[in-house]
Amino acid sequence: MSVRRIWASLSTLALAAAASLGVAGAAVAADSAAVGGYVALGDSYSSGVGAGDYLPDSGDCRRSANAYPQLWAAANSPTSFAFVACSGATTASVASGQLGALDASTALVSVTAGGNDVGFADVMQDCVLGSEATCISSVNTAVGEMNNSLPGKLDSLYGSIRSGAPSAQVVVLGYPRFYQLSGSCIAGLTEAERTAINDASDVLNGVLAKRAADAGFTFSSVVDEFTGHELCSGDAWIHSVTVPIQNSYHPTVAGQSGGYLPAFRSAV
């Protein structure tokens, strides 16, 4: 049996549960706190899946005490803090289930959304378990959705956020590249597959940045923060296929405190 097939076989159970992206940080210096309330919206990259220490009342949303919204709020003491990001969230479910936390007093909003809309975790499952051709075809399908259907979904969500919090600064955060190319991994995906996945992340971030700018929001990339800490880097801030299975392809504690938190802090 080939190394790739052995690795894929061992990964099957974990990847089945990673079919949604919603398949203790370093000390931080306090920023200038927002005047008013802070609301943290979004999917598992904002709720902190993969960072552990989940808040008891968060259930399947898996909101972590180590997630960047929690870390920023602890350092800055906004007048109110609503942490409503949820594992598995799409643009539609953020709009329908999370925006009730917004009101006229909300001064700051953070949001990650879009990855689940294009089925990015399904792409990762196809890439780990399928052939190179299957992987690249799945990536290309996701890229098509990013370019065609996702912009309208983001426009709708961003318009609803602005309606719910008319005076707030809204920070849209992107997603990291998953892989360091020509890195230390000796098994798993091919270099062509890793390149395609990274390129798709760049497309997704480009769409998010454009729609955020058109909405008058701030886009903050996390790519620079995660550079040198991708999978195959030897110092990854992203889980590979792992147990607990829901952690796969999500930021670690260090990814939240060293990746997402500085990217958010720099935008506020």
If we measure between CA atoms, which residue out of 68, 110, 118, 67 comes closest to residue 92? 118
At 94, list the tokens: 């953020």
Active site residues: 44, 250
- What is the rounded distance in angstroms from the CA atom of residue 49 to the CA atom of residue 36? 27
If DSSP codes are grouped into helix, strand and coil, which group holds residue 24? coil
User: What is the CA angle 80-86-92, rounded to 5?
Assistant: 105
Please state, in angstroms and as integers, the Cα–Cα distance from residue 16 to each residue in 5, 113, 128, 181, 226, following that order.
16, 21, 11, 25, 26
CA dihedral 97, 98, 101, 103 (to 10 degrees): -90
* 196 burial via Cβ count (<10 Å: 0-12, 13-18, 19+): buried
Buried b / exposed e over 116-142, threshold 16 CB at 10 Å, is bbbbbbbbbbbbbbeeeeebbebbebb
Please compute, for residue 218, the number of CA atoms within 13 A of its CA located in the half-sphere on the CB side. Answer: 14
- What is the rounded distance in angstroms from the CA atom of residue 5 to the CA atom of residue 240? 16
Q: Which amino acid, residue 140?
A: N
- What is the rounded distance in angstroms from the CA atom of residue 69 to the CA atom of residue 47? 8
Rg (CA), the chain: 18
